[in-house]
Each structure stands twice: as structure tokens, then as C-alpha cells.
Amino acid sequence: MTDKYCVIGHPVAHSKSPEIHAAYAAQTGQDIRYERCLAPLDGFAETVQRLVAEGYRGANVTVPFKLEAARLATRLNERARAAGAVNTLVFAHGEIVGDNTDGPGLMADITRNAGVPIRGRRVLLLGAGGAARGALLPFVQEAPREIVIANRTVPTAEALVHDFAQVAGRHGVRLGAAGFDTVDGSFDIVVNATSSSLAGDLPPVPPGIFGPGALALDMMYGNQPTVFMDFAARHGAAVRDGLGMLVEQAAEAFAIWRGVRPDTAQVLRAMRP
């Protein structure tokens, strides 16, 4: 029998997830159906309960429901608890289990697809919202030398440093907070976890943040490079958008659901315009 999955969002028509998961299913011989599911802004919980009742095995969750998904889940794993947000749900044995594969997807894109090691490096994370929070634990677990969180409001970044100080200490990672315009020094990896690219804006960071051979990655993606990517490229950085992260986080979710990990390289090549 075909197992059913979907991505829940509002809006959701733009989502590339059905194409990605269809490719993974064909590659691995898994019998699944994966759809887009538009949930009313005030009806996320009801939508999930309907999917459970209809026999769905799981779902991905996209904006604006990731925080609500964390509250709805009957159980959260470690990275979902750390992120405070859920992008992957598993429906099994009467439970709704919440996971977050965004951070692992980002790590895989940086280390495997871009070929950039994180261990011992200096990392700058722009933004202190949900996307940054979701990336922080996986980043710490890769054991960079230092992670600086830069944000427009410094106390928000400082709160994030406080929340992750203990786990960072266990991994020997130094955490720091700064404002966009007070970032000190250069970095090996710079990740734009803000939503500024959606509006064509740029976090007001100094151009000196990009060290020699730096990688600059924007979590947003589109047919053209983002403003942040253009800025980084002008100042000597290698640049990536968030498409690789999307493909990799989908592979992590697929592995959770199906117990088999697909090959992401061929799917990422096919997804590139």
C-alpha cells in the first residue's frame, strides 16, 4: 500500500518538496505519495489531526507553522527541542513526533556539497530568529573554533548565546554575540539566516567579515543570486544559496520516515535552474 506524506504550509504552492521526495522515492524504490497541503492560518492543528485520521505517515512543515508544530507534537527529539521549531513530523503508534532537519541539511550542504570543513573554523551566523536557532546545535556539534551570532538587536543574540552556552562548552566551542555593524574580524563561514533576502535587503555587515577563501551561504534561494550573495562575491567569498540545504534537509526527513538515505547529488543537480 502506498504511504502518504505531505508538506504543510501557507502558502505552499511554491514548495519544491513534492518533486524532491518523488525523486528520492524513485531512486530508492519506495512506494510513497507526497503532496502539498495548504492549511488555514488558524487551522494547523486541525489539519494535522485530519492527516493522522486519513492514515498519513508523516509531514514536513514550512512557514508559518514550524513553531506551532513544536507545540503540537506529543514528543520532540533533541534537535527539535533545541531549535524550538519543527519541520518534520512522524505519525506513529498514536504519537506525533517532532524533528528538525533544517540544521543537519545545512551542515550536509556545507561539508559535503561545498566541501568546506567546519571543525576548527570561525563561523558567523547572521540573525537570531528561528532559522538561526535551528542551525545552532548542529553547528556546535561540528566543533568549529568559534560561532558569533550577529543580529540587529544584540540582546536577542545574547539570549541565544545564553541558551546554547552549556552545550557549546561541552564541545569546546566559543560563542559570542554582536550587532550587525559591530562584528569583529573575519570568518571562514558566513551564513545569512535572516529573511532579508526575501525583501531584497542586506544585513548591514562590514565587508571585512569574509576571510580568505570564505564560504558565504544564504538560506534563501531563487533563480538569481540573492543580494547577500552578490555582496559576498564582490568581497571575495565563494557563495551558495539555500537550495542545497533544502535538498539535504529533505533527504534527512526521507531517511527518518523510510529508513533509507537517498543520494542527494543527482537531485540537487536536477533542481538547479
Residues at the binding site for shikimate are: 15-17, 62, 87, 102, 221, 249
Tell the burial category of 1 from Cβ atoms under 10 Å away from its Cβ (0-12, 13-18, 19+).
exposed
- From 21, 66, 133, 240, the catalytic residue: 66
Half-sphere exposure (Cβ direction) of 255: Cα atoms closer than 13 Å: 14
- DSSP structure class, residue 180: G
User: Cα(248)–Cα(109) distance, rounded to whole angstroms?
Assistant: 7
Put residue 119 in one of left, alpha, beta given phi > 0 → left and psi -120 to 50 → alpha. Answer: beta
| Inter-residue contact 17 to 34 (CB < 8 Å) | yes
State the angle between helix axes of 264-271 and 243-258 in degrees (0 to 180), rounded to the nearest 10. Answer: 140
Binding site for NADP(+), by residue number, is: 78, 127-131, 219, 242
Please indicate whether residue 66 is annotated as part of the active site: yes
Binding site, by residue number, is: 15-17, 62, 78, 87, 102, 127-131, 219, 221, 242, 249
What residues are annotated to the active site? 66
